[in-house]
Structure 1
Amino acid sequence: MNVRNSVALVVGVTGMAGLSLAKALKQPDCLGGPWKVYGAARRSADGWFPSSILDGFITFDAVNSADTHDKLLPLVQEVTHLFWVTFQFVGDEEANITVNKTMLLNVLTVLKSSPSSSLIHITLQTGTKHYMGPVHDPVLSTKLICHEPPFHENMPRLPYPNFYYVLEDLVTSYAPSVTYSIHRSSIIIGMSPRSAHNVLMKLAVYAAICHHLGLPFRYPGNKYTWEHFCDMTDAGVLAKQHVWAAVTEDAKNQAFNCTNGDVFTWKSMWMLLSEVFNVKFVELNDKEEFDLVELMRDKGEIWDLIVEEYGLHKTKLEEIASFEATVPVLRFQFQHVSSMNKSKDYGFFEYADTFKSIRFWVAKLREMKLIPVYKH
């Protein structure tokens, strides 16, 4: 039995990782439980979000120190674990560093401001950009040299600015009074219209527009990724790793990769996606340029029509589908694969079948009325 009550603050609760994390923490058999769970986000939860899984929902802007202070001060004596699963992409990597450091620092400043602070652990969500450099920076992304895959946790930092590095340094600066864990996921698959990098949602939207307009569902990547290995991270596996590291003594003050434990080629993935999204599979034609970003640039009104026709939760294309962020991931010239050996060495054995995960989360997206269900 816990001497101290476990109270979680999940910042970024409306994202893929945050939603799965809140659900995991409220399971009756969750490690370290029973948990009281507060969820926080910039915007209020609306129709699609199951707010009943939380003990309290807080809306605040973490970039604003005064707003952060006002909203979080009442929780200072309660919160034992901070689960940080949010980020903002605002421009080049230096701008990303500034905004993301400001957000986390504002939250930690409040939670540690009182002598009666109860905070004992921080889990920090990052990703494989740790091993690749700032792949979305408009200038630096064209000249990066990344580590040789499979990526493993003791690889040295790359000589590029990276907001993941800055956030790691920030949480480690609170040790030893607060322990921490770092979670480096691959491409996350889950359910949320609020995640800037929800690849599955974006591909589902792209497929729905192709279905509606009678366009071919073409692969927007290159021949290398079509034929070579990649991995993914089920949001449920990621959530379990966050909780496990937060309450397992040996896992404290460590960084862990988090993937499903299997690999796939994008050709095989495209076959599966074509099936689950009810569109015809199209072989890669790498002789012909295909610009998905340009194709989708003027499709906002088409998405509005699809939302109306199928009675979907009202979303705007520009808010749920940043194709500019997805296309580079499908055009790597290296295998996007991480090792899970360290996690297993420390006692974390969760895994997922990626193709089963895709089917599961597509069903969830339909159940939550975020993407269409087609009648055969």
Structure 2
Amino acid sequence: MTDTPTTGPQGGPDPTAAAAASPGTALVAGSAGVIGAHAAAEYARLPGWTVRGAARREQPGVPWRALTADLSSADGAREGLAAARDTTHLVFAAYVERGDELQQVRDNTALLRHTLDALDGAPLRHVTLYQGGKAYGAHLPGFKTPARESDPRLLVPNFYYAQEDLLRAEADRRGFGLTVLRPEGVVGYATGNPMNILMVVAVHAAISRALGVPLRFPGSRAAGEALYQVTDAELLARATVWAGSTPAADGEVFNVTNGDQFRWVHAYAAIARHLGMEHDEPQDFSLTSVMPLHEGTWRRLVDEHGLVPTPYERLVGWPFGDFLFHSGFDNVSSTVKVRRAGFGECLDSVERFCELVDRLVERRVVPAFR
């Protein structure tokens, strides 16, 4: 008998039940990031699983065994992952962003190759790889929506394609299964990981309140009115565990989002109401240029409210916010395929933003708004 729940968060079948019934040993590469941290935590929640998380930086207080590994070099990966030679399930969430597209192809493909090579001989049963909207051209001036997994690749170089080709070749050679998941705008919190739109919204709101100004959507009108979608990090973690233990997911690519779309102008208004803040019309400005000017205000808030003392430059990725808030076209992916395969979870994204900001307040990441 087991006390593992058999129903999911929304009352339906628990998508992680199969994993709980057949435990293994999970290794999450990139466990200090938003996606990796939530995936490792979800596996650690399941009874019987051995869970390790590999990252370049420290991972204090985590519920999994933390490994320090530099996956950018073959030697670093081999040494750092030496204790993970019994891995049955690899979750690959490691990522580096530098240089142009070709440099990103080289660097990110090397991360995956070094990790797979370091685990050569391990009893791998499944590997989960993450991609994203860039597979469809979300970083370019518009793309066909709703995006479907069967859409053709782009001519523009993309490390997603190179990683997937490498993974499929290794899976054929070594006999393990694989699943590729494509989230968009992942929302969650991981200490010192700024590439997260939740932190952009929460810190922008906190500083606006501290300065006594209304909360305004800080992007272009086109972006504010366009349809957008996000993927909750906890939902994605459950999809990851599901994919690693579900035959219907083997070899497949799935879009994984909350299942709804929203417009930023409406989301900002709803978040302001939830936080008890005044709200005003959108005001297009550069977060990258303006928000660093308010570092002193943030330091004062940290001192006054006893917040987690994360360095300001590691707290929020303002350029990431500028990119999303100036993408003036619909960003919509179809989730029909993953639902038909058996993963049917969905969330109200705006409600979830409000819930997660409240959680940041509880964790003293941002100050209380009331």
TM-score by length of 2: 0.89
Contact 1:237/1:260 (8 A) holds in 2? yes
How far has the Cα of 1:184 moved from its partner?
0.4
Q: CA RMSD in A?
A: 2.0
CA-to-aligned-CA distance 1:48-75 (integer Å, 9 cap, x gap): xx41x21x11112211322221121232
2:208 paired with 1:175: no
Aligned to 1:301: 296
1:119 aligns with 2:137: no
Are the counterparts in 2 of residues 42 and 61 from structure 1 also a CA contact under 8 Å?
A: yes
Summarize the Cα distance change of 1:129–1:282 in structure 2 as closer, same or farther, 3 Å threshold: same
SS of corresponding position for 2:66: strand
> Residue in 1 aligned with 2:340?
345
Bigger drift between 289-298 and 1-10 goes to 1-10
Please report how far the alpha carbon of residue 210 of structure 1 lies from its aligned counterpart in structure 2 after TM superposition: 1.7
CA distance in 1, matches of 2:278, 2:308: 26
Q: Which residue of 1 aligns with 2:15?
A: none
Match of 1:298, SS state, is: helix
2:83 aligned with 1:83: no
- Deviation, 1:298, is 2.6
CA–CA distance in structure 2, aligned partners of residues 45 and 98 of structure 1: 27
Which residue, out of 28, 39, 47, partners 1:21?
39
Counterpart CA distance in 1 for 2:360 and 2:261 is 23
Cα contact 1:44–1:59 (8 A) shared by 2: yes
Q: Deviations over 1:242-294 (max 9, x none)?
A: 11111111210111000111111111101122234453211125xxx522221
Corresponding position of 2:72: 63
Q: Which of 264, 287, 292 does residue 292 from structure 1 map onto?
A: 287
**Which residue identity lines up with residue 127 of structure 1 in the other structure?**
G
Number of residues paired by the alignment?
Answer: 350
Question: Paired residue for 2:204?
Answer: 206
Aligned to 1:151: 147
Mark the CA change 1:202 to 1:229 in structure 2 (over 3 Å): closer, same or farther. same
Instruction: Work out whether 1:280 is the aligned partner of 2:288.
Output: no
* Structure 1 portions without partners, runs of 5+: 136-143
* Cα distance in 1 for residues equivalent to 2:292 and 2:325: 18
After superposition, give the CA deviation of every residue in 1:154-193 in whole Å (9 maximum; x if it has no partner).
1001110111111111211112212211110011111223
**How far apart are the structure 1 equivalents of 2:168 and 2:142?**
24
Residue type at the aligned position of 1:95: Q
Could you tell me which residue of structure 2 aligns to residue 139 of structure 1?
none
- Tell whether 2:160 aligns with 1:164: yes
Equivalent residue of 1:164, what SS?
helix
Q: Which aligned segments of 4 or more residues in structure 1 are displaced greater than 4 angstroms? A: 1-5
The equivalent of 1:311 in structure 2 is 306
SS at match of 1:39: strand
- Report the Cα distance in structure 2 between the residues aligned to 1:309 and 1:109, rounded to whole angstroms: 49
Q: Which amino acid aligns with 1:318?
A: E
SS at match of 2:325: helix
Distance 2:232 2:22 in 1: 30
Q: Which amino acid aligns with 2:248?
A: D
Query: Which of the numbers 103, 106, 121 marks the counterpart of 1:98?
Result: 106
Share of identical aligned residues, percent? 31
Q: Distance in 1 between matches of 2:196 and 2:239?
A: 19
Aligned to 1:108: 116
